[in-house]
Amino acid sequence: MLRLEDKRGVATCDGLTRRDFLRVGALGAGAVGLSLADARADNSKKDINCILLFLVGGPSQLDTWDLKPDAPSTIRGPFRPINTNVPGISIGEHFPRMARQAHRYALVRSVHHDEAPIHETGQQLMQTGRVFRHEQEYPHYGSVLSQQKGQRVEGVPPFVVLPSPLGHTGVNVSHGQSAGPLGLPHEPFVLRADPARSHGPALLDALDRAHRAYDAGTSDVPAFHRLFSARAKTAFHLAAESDELRARYGRNTFGQSCLLARRLIEAGVRLATVNMFDTVFDGITWDCHADGGSLATTLDDYRDTLCPMFDAAYATLLDDLAARGLLETTLIVAMGEFGRTPLLNPRGGRDHWPGVWSILFAGGGVRGGQVVGSSDRNGSEPRDRPVTPSEVAATVYRLLGVPQPPFVDSDPVEELLSHS
């Protein structure tokens, strides 16, 4: 795992080059051919759509949703757990709104992988189910939905990324948010605008710029990527929402992107990915190395900014979808690319740790009000019911009606499925 052994900053977050990454990847199986010919979407069930909240940087399990109050101070960190509205389930003290809605979500506390402890491997694994080897890419969940089910509403793209694509996170390789071998027609539509700063016509201007950028080398892309229907364009008018609701989501990029994702799902998008950040450098993100330089985020930033920001947006999203009758047909998955080191580093931060971390499932056929799996007493590895990224992918596909994608070689996490 990546450890910072002194108080100096690090030149790059991952400390690895692209060549290092590919060399690690080459140690596994060779390139895998991909065919979806045998994968058929299950359209016999209710049409389930998805909002994927990607928490770039990797939230610390020990400071969010899997606290260890009895561990030594060098491990447990500064925060304390609070009870939720489900007996026996506690989460971090800085998520009071989430604590009142624990009946609606399931916590998976035993996700882990043993690939390279860098952002990009986790981003690939958690959004496709596989790490990319020998430059073989795999498609994001949204691209598979696009290929399998097509448009849900004419004139509306099936797969959208908000508010911007993932940028540099340490190694110059794919982040797992593309169509891979499925090709250009199933690439996501990326807004590339901040909905917290762009309003009404300004946001539509950004939408038009995104169209032009998308079209710049993709003349064979279907017309619905080039021209949104009037209904879809209306979804970008966040000013149509009340000031009170917008404030509840949070008047910040992440909060307004979550609100926009809800509006796009209503308009006909099948899967909307919200990147909470687009990089881990030179700003507050979940990547809490506390290096005092380009990776300066600390646990104080968790307390003051990150946890309250997520708490407001996530809890409001669940409330909003439920009030509109959309929670049963919308899967909400919130996850980062890995967890953080159990032992605090010398500067009071935490470094990369794919040994175990926590993610959230809600809505869309998920059995809420439960915890699946657990970590050991120090939050360093799974204690029981270990869950792999491949199992996460299998679960997402099962819930979305793609039960047996040929490139995912695991079974779903059955405990998460409501079977209703």
Whole-number pLDDT of residue 25: 43
Contacts of 216 (CB under 8 A, 6+ apart): none
Whole-number pLDDT of residue 106: 98
In a domain, 13, yes or no: no
In a domain, 216, yes or no: no
State how far the Cα of 365 lies from the Cα of 420, in Å rounded to an integer: 7
In a domain, 292, yes or no: yes
Q: Which domain holds residue 119?
A: 48-188+271-416
Here the CATH number for the domain that contains residue 319 is: 3.40.720
In a domain, 296, yes or no: yes
In a domain, 75, yes or no: yes
In a domain, 176, yes or no: yes
Whole-number pLDDT of residue 57: 98
Domain count, the chain: 1
Structure tokens at 355: 């040994």
In a domain, 212, yes or no: no
Block means of pLDDT (10 residues each) for the chain, length 420 residues?
Answer: 38 52 41 42 70 98 98 96 98 98 98 97 97 91 94 90 95 94 91 83 70 55 53 85 97 98 96 98 97 97 98 98 98 98 98 98 98 98 98 97 84 89
In a domain, 31, yes or no: no
Whole-number pLDDT of residue 391: 97
